[in-house]
Amino acid sequence: MTDLQPTPAASASPLEDAHRVFTQLTHRLRAAVVGRDEVIELVLVALLADGHVLLEDFPGSGKTTLARALGSAIEPGPSGAVEGIASFRRIQFTPDLLPSDITGTNVFDVDAGGFTFRRGPLFAHVVLADEINRTSPKVQSAMLEAMAEKQVTVDDATYGLDRLFFVIATQNPLDLAGTYPLPTPQLDRFLFKLVMEHIERDAELDVLASYPKPHLDQAAAHPGVSREAILAARMASRELVHLAPVFREALVDLARGLRADPRVLQGASTRSLVLAMPALQARALLRGRDYVAPEDLEALAPQIFRHRLELAPGVEDPLEVIGDALAPQLEILARASLKG
Amino acid sequence: MSAVAPVGAPAREREPTVAVVSRLLVHALGAAIFAAPLVRGEATALAALGAALGAGLAPRFARGPWRTGGLVTLGVALLALGFLGRFLFVDTAIAARGLGPAAALRTGDGWLFAFGAAGVSFALRSLSARRRSLAALEVVAVAAAFMQLVVAHRHGAINRPFEIADPIIAAGGDPTHVFYAVGALAALAVVLLLLAERSVWRSLLHLAAVLLVLGLVFGLTDALDPPAPPVAGAGLGLRPGEGEPQEGEGGQGNQRGQGGEQRPDENLEFQDDLDTSQSQVPVAVVLFHSDYSSPTGVYYFRQGAFSQYNGRRMVGATGGLDRDLGDAFPSRTYTVPDPPLLNQNRTSVETTVALLTEHNRPFGLEAPVRFAPARNPDPRRFDRLYRVESAVLTSDFFSMIGARAGAKDWGPEEWTHYTEGPEDPRYAALAQRILDEKLPDYLRGDPAAQVAAVTSWLAEQGTYSLRSRHADADDPTADFLFGDVTGYCVHFAHAGAYLLRSLGLPARVATGYAVDEAQRAGGSALLISGETSHAWPEVRIEGFGWVVADISPQNVISPPPAPSDQDLQRLLGELARGLEAMPIEPETPLVQQLERAFDWMKLSLLGLLWFLGLVLAALFGGKLWRRLAPRFADPAAQPRVAYRADLDRLSDVGIRRRRGESRESFAARVAEALPALVPLTRAHVGAAFGSRRRPDLGSHRSELRQQLRQAVPLWRRLLGAIDPFSWLLTR
């Protein structure tokens, strides 16, 4: 995190504003969740790239804290909160959940003498979809429609979600009894699948040291950011961070390399490549750069592609497959930089 | 790494395709080069194919569980299979009966070379795949394959091995260039093999091994090598000798017109050891335009004549005498000032002389009348060409009986000049004794009979030897004639001339080449080699002109000359005509081939060293240019050029980005020792991928140098500075 320097409160360019906003977010999340710097960065990349993340972890690893901290960091902007939109919602997915439980439903309003739509928990800036693999495919697909289209459909009526709709879904990698594992096409809708590991000893000690005052409260000391600032940052990231054409080639060739690999049954989709481009820009912006660098591809490619590959039987590690396909592209990019 | 699992381990170390392919190419090339002079085209191709297959298969086996010894044994078994196949095809009658002998021979060769090359390449490759240091063997083997090619061209041999040089000569090219090309190819092959080693140090080690082997070979060759064949004929003054000033009319044809006044400072000196006459070096090729057969069975080519007695020996005459010689190479047609008469005794024969080495003056068959320039079809092969019309004698001494000595228009001055000899009375006494002994009374006064008597007496009594002890005497001829009568042509010619002069016959000593007619072997070309240089007496007979009165001693101590090379004679004849030669088969002893080839090998090595020197210079030039480029590059290119220079600096000391590693990861990897590389890398990558910011690099660059000095010991930096390859390995 060498690029995160304190930045002045007001800056000239939208790019610097965006960087400042996300630096604030980073500081706030780091204060709330100790020892998860890399996950925090990737979550923020996804937020900035308008994607969603799937966290694969075990209970008690801080995912709720992370999501809640993110939600609480998004403050009502100068124009006030969008009506009816919460900043954070948590949905605990269970087998008996119904789609209307998350999207909302039409209820009969006695006063008005007709049905009115009551918004479900999806109408929030940050939604934590806990244990998404525990619910029925019906609910999963309603969730995924919301994620992909940023809208929900209830009884032939379509309701738009907030533009800043960001899902952090979790699933438990070990306890698979009675679950409905997400099929690969549905996983495709998540920008990243982040596999979390136990935090290091010092960080864990740090978590305990904060007792009795939770870290989340300490985070409140850091300033939050407004919804508008995040939306402006998204805009700046897409339009002002330079994505050299050679990266598009690298992405396509990387996907082709993955598809050609005999260890891969089904390779990465074209959609994943489309999603990858804003992700690369977002990471560059987060790192304080105005251009996408090969290191962005190097860092993000495993996260982007690991859950999108159907591997041949007997092949365990998608990261090894991705690494093999990535190396020639990194080599090409590295050589491209020395060419006149 | 706390939360996110690392990217999969970097791709397995796979040998780059370029290295694999270049190895195969080099093996195929080496095998082909080795086979080319030994066998026909298809066997050469098979050898290349076999070598490529063997080299291609070896790494697969080398990765397997087999023992290294087993792999080598497999290679040797392949080689043995090759020999077995050749034995079956060639040395037994089975295949010959079915295929015919020629096809069987070809099949056998092809079999042997295909399997042999496959076996050798397989063994070498598996060895070098198992143990990297043994790759030196591979490199040395390829170098040796090239060496054995050029070995055969030692001492400038041009028709062995026939397949390499002669087609080039026949096509009018200069084979030297081919050998330079072969040398360059060899250097390229070796360099390719060396570069395929991905460690520069190993490459340098192998290069040192190759140079050591080559040096040993050349050192041993020089130590054991007999001296190169000397240039013959120089002892008779026919050609400009080494160290002698090559002045006078020797080389230039445009000095004609000064008549015979200016005689070359030719030297017909007596020598005790004429060790140059055994040389077979070809000096000229003579093309006969009509079929002419000499009555004596020997073709005499006169170049000079010596008629002035200087008290010790014969020297060239001045003052308008001996004006029947060509005194300069023709730039236009000219007739000699005092041509021999074309009458019933002499007939005209035209020849073309193609000189292979430089000569002082033109020579022509027996008695040249006219000289004319001729086009040189191959200036690199022939020194010059000219045409000669000669008036050759058609009759022998018997038909001269009755003719008078001298010439009709001679005055007393000429008579005195051509009959002056030593005052020693023993000559006259001996001459008289010979006449008494040899001739009946009625012939004793006849000049032609006298000449025949004197020459035949000398031939009977004399002993031909290149070693004699007369040179120190006051009159070497007397020492020879009245001593052991043992000497070489110059002694015999002088003795003959003095004896004839003492009889009052006008005589002189002529020099040139004398070639046995049999050597023409029915063709129209006659190869003159250095060993045929000769001196002989001539006598002037009225109506016949100057007549060769050669003496052929019956006793010969010196070894007889080797038979001449008919193939070479034909080849050079065709070349002198400007024709391409028919392919012919070489039939020269291997020892001789080897001897001659070493010269070419040295030349090739020199070429190789030059080439390597050039390659090194180019490498260092590239290195220097890339290092200095930041000073000259324009600001827009600065981040790229400066970063490249910094990477070269790191590469010098072995710090390089790995394949598939991004620049940023590389910078992060070495950040501990070289923190300045991180901002430099960021600036470079930013500039390359469209950043609008332009950070200042100057301070970081000097910091990087500082950090490099701290992190890397001096000796390593010095080694890096003289490493010519490091910048090529920069990634």
Please indicate, yes or no, whether residues A63 and A100 belong to a single structural domain of this protein: yes
Please indicate, yes or no, whether residues A253 and A307 belong to a single structural domain of this protein: yes
Does the beta-carbon distance from B2 to A334 stay under 8 Å?
A: no
Please indicate, yes or no, whether residues A148 and A252 belong to a single structural domain of this protein: no
Domain contains B426:
yes
Domain contains B287:
yes
| pLDDT bracket for residue B80 (50, 70, 90) | very high
Q: Which of A173, A207, A237 is the last residue in one of the domains?
A: A237
Domain contains B415:
yes
B-chain residue closest to A204, CA distance: B2
A-chain residue closest to B667, CA distance: A295
pLDDT for B475-532, tens place per residue? 888 888 888 888 888 888 888 998 889 888 899 998 888 888 888 877 888 888 877 8
Domain contains A100:
yes
* Nearest of B566, B594, B570, B596 to residue B581 by alpha carbon: B570
Distance between CA atoms of residues A30 and A216, nearest Å: 10
Write down the pLDDT at residue B49.
92
Does the beta-carbon distance from A298 to B6 stay under 8 Å?
A: no
Please indicate, yes or no, whether residues B125 and B140 belong to a single structural domain of this protein: no
Domain contains A289:
yes
Please indicate, yes or no, whether residues B434 and B365 belong to a single structural domain of this protein: yes
Tokens of B492: 């015999």
Chain A nearest-CA distance from B217, in A, is 44
Mean pLDDT of B268-276: 65
Does the beta-carbon distance from A322 to B678 stay under 8 Å?
A: no
Q: Which of A189, A217, A237 is the last residue in one of the domains?
A: A237
- Asked if B685 has any chain A CB less than 8 Å from its own CB, the reply is yes
Of A324, A333, A335, the CB nearest to B8: A324
Q: Which residue has the tokens 């204060």?
A: A31
Of A196, A295, A297, the CB nearest to B3: A196
* Nearest of B630, B638, B631, B622 to residue B694 by alpha carbon: B638
Number of domain units in chain B = 4
Q: Which residues of B touch A333 (CB under 8 A)?
A: 662
Please indicate, yes or no, whether residues A29 and A119 belong to a single structural domain of this protein: yes
Of B6, B643, B659, the CB nearest to A331: B659
Please indicate, yes or no, whether residues B212 and B272 belong to a single structural domain of this protein: no
pLDDT at residue B151 tops 70:
no
pLDDT for B286-319, tens place per residue? 988 888 888 888 889 988 888 888 887 888 877 7
Does the beta-carbon distance from B3 to A336 stay under 8 Å?
A: no
pLDDT for A228-238, tens place per residue? 888 899 999 99
Please indicate, yes or no, whether residues A218 and A333 belong to a single structural domain of this protein: no
Domain contains B246:
no
Count of pairs with CB atoms under 8 A, one residue in A, one in B: 128
Of B2, B665, B684, the CB nearest to A298: B665
- Could you write out the DSSP letters of every residue in A264-320? EEE---HHHHHHHHHHHHHHHHHTT-SB--HHHHHHHHHHHHTTT-EEPTT---HHH
Q: Which residues of B touch A39 (CB under 8 A)?
A: 3-4
Q: Which residues of A touch B664 (CB under 8 A)?
A: 293-295, 298
Chain B nearest-CA distance from A319, in A, is 5
Burial class for B383, CB neighbours closer than 10 Å (0-12, 13-18, 19+): middle
Please indicate, yes or no, whether residues A193 and A222 belong to a single structural domain of this protein: yes
B-chain residue closest to A323, CA distance: B8
Q: Would you tell me how many other CB atoms lie within 10 Å of the CB of residue B137?
A: 16
Chain B nearest-CA distance from A80, in A, is 36
Does the beta-carbon distance from A334 to B662 stay under 8 Å?
A: yes
| pLDDT bracket for residue A283 (50, 70, 90) | very high
Of B4, B640, B657, the CB nearest to A194: B4
> Secondary structure of B515-535 in the HEC alphabet?
EEHHHHCCCCEEEEEHHHEEE
Please indicate, yes or no, whether residues B359 and B428 belong to a single structural domain of this protein: yes
Sequence-ordered list of residues with C-beta below 8 angstroms from that of B324, at least 6 positions apart, any chain: B305, B336, B337, B338, B339, B340, B367, B368, B545, B546
Between A309-323, B37-51, B123-137, the lowest mean confidence (pLDDT) is in: B123-137
Distance between CA atoms of residues B49 and B117, nearest Å: 8
Please indicate, yes or no, whether residues A195 and A269 belong to a single structural domain of this protein: no
Mean pLDDT, all residues of chain B: 78
pLDDT at residue B16 tops 80:
no
* Nearest of B254, B256, B234, B258 to residue B246 by alpha carbon: B234
Q: Which residues of B touch A321 (CB under 8 A)?
A: 8
pLDDT for B200-227, tens place per residue? 666 677 677 777 766 766 665 555 544 4
Please indicate, yes or no, whether residues A137 and A255 belong to a single structural domain of this protein: no
Please indicate, yes or no, whether residues B607 and B638 belong to a single structural domain of this protein: no
ipTM, 2 dp:
0.81
Q: B556 by DSSP, 3-state: which?
A: strand
Tokens of B140: 């040395």
Q: Which residues of B touch A34 (CB under 8 A)?
A: none
State the maximum Cα–Cα separation within chain A, in Å, rounded to a whole number.
73
Does the beta-carbon distance from A36 to B3 stay under 8 Å?
A: yes
Domain contains B115:
yes
Please indicate, yes or no, whether residues B202 and B292 belong to a single structural domain of this protein: no
Q: Which of B113, B130, B147 is the last residue in one of the domains?
A: B130
Please indicate, yes or no, whether residues B621 and B646 belong to a single structural domain of this protein: no
A-chain residue closest to B633, CA distance: A340
Distance between CA atoms of residues B281 and B160, nearest Å: 14
Q: Are A326 and A318 in contact (CB under 8 A)?
A: no
Mean pLDDT, all residues of chain A: 84
Does the beta-carbon distance from B7 to A298 stay under 8 Å?
A: yes
Which of B12, B17, B662 should we substitute to test contact with A (largest number of A Cβ atoms within 10 Å)?
B662
Distance between CA atoms of residues A52 and A63, nearest Å: 14
Which of B1, B7, B638 should we substitute to test contact with A (largest number of A Cβ atoms within 10 Å)?
B7
B-chain residue closest to A319, CA distance: B8
Domain contains A310:
yes
Write down the pLDDT at residue A253.
93
Of A35, A292, A333, the CB nearest to B662: A333
Domain carrying residue B48: 15-130
Domain contains B261:
yes
Please indicate, yes or no, whether residues A219 and A99 belong to a single structural domain of this protein: yes
pLDDT at residue B241 tops 60:
no
- Could you write out the DSSP letters of every residue in B535-552? EEEEEEETTTEEEE----
Q: Are B218 and B605 in contact (CB under 8 A)?
A: yes
Sequence-ordered list of residues with C-beta below 8 angstroms from that of B372, at least 6 positions apart, any chain: B330, B332, B333, B334, B386, B387, B388, B389
Number of domain units in chain A = 2
Please indicate, yes or no, whether residues B260 and B186 belong to a single structural domain of this protein: no
Q: Which residues of B touch A199 (CB under 8 A)?
A: 2-3
Chain B nearest-CA distance from A212, in A, is 25
> Which CATH number characterizes residue A276's domain?
1.10.8.80
Of B640, B661, B691, the CB nearest to A291: B691
Please indicate, yes or no, whether residues B405 and B527 belong to a single structural domain of this protein: yes
B-chain residue closest to A195, CA distance: B4
pLDDT at residue B261 tops 50:
no
Which of B1, B4, B691 should we substitute to test contact with A (largest number of A Cβ atoms within 10 Å)?
B4
- Asked if B98 has any chain A CB less than 8 Å from its own CB, the reply is no
Domain contains A291:
yes
pLDDT for B360-411, tens place per residue? 888 888 888 888 888 888 777 788 889 998 888 887 777 888 888 888 888 8
Does the beta-carbon distance from A39 to B657 stay under 8 Å?
A: no
Domain contains A7:
no
Domain contains A4:
no
Q: Are A164 and A74 in contact (CB under 8 A)?
A: yes
pLDDT at residue A327 tops 60:
yes
Q: Which of B130, B165, B198 is the last residue in one of the domains?
A: B130
Q: Which residues of B touch A320 (CB under 8 A)?
A: 8-9
Of A293, A303, A317, the CB nearest to B685: A293
Write down the pLDDT at residue B573.
82
Please indicate, yes or no, whether residues A193 and A324 belong to a single structural domain of this protein: no
Domain contains B347:
yes
Does the beta-carbon distance from B662 to A196 stay under 8 Å?
A: no
Q: Which of B89, B107, B130 is the last residue in one of the domains?
A: B130
Domain carrying residue A274: 241-338
Please indicate, yes or no, whether residues B190 and B265 belong to a single structural domain of this protein: no
Write down the pLDDT at residue B161.
46
- Asked if B640 has any chain A CB less than 8 Å from its own CB, the reply is yes
Domain contains A154:
yes
Tokens of B473: 């005497």
Please indicate, yes or no, whether residues B403 and B517 belong to a single structural domain of this protein: yes
Q: Which residues of A touch B5 (CB under 8 A)?
A: 195, 197, 302, 319
Chain A nearest-CA distance from B686, in A, is 6
Please indicate, yes or no, whether residues A181 and A272 belong to a single structural domain of this protein: no
Q: Would you tell me how many other CB atoms lie within 10 Å of the CB of residue A246?
A: 19
C-alpha radius of gyration, chain A, whole number? 21
Does the beta-carbon distance from B4 to A195 stay under 8 Å?
A: yes
Query: Looking at per-residue confidence, does B668 or A206 come out higher?
Result: B668
| pLDDT bracket for residue B277 (50, 70, 90) | very low
pLDDT at residue A162 tops 80:
yes
Please indicate, yes or no, whether residues A307 and A275 belong to a single structural domain of this protein: yes
Q: Which of A179, A208, A237 is the last residue in one of the domains?
A: A237
Q: Are B260 and B321 in contact (CB under 8 A)?
A: yes
Does the beta-carbon distance from B663 to A334 stay under 8 Å?
A: yes
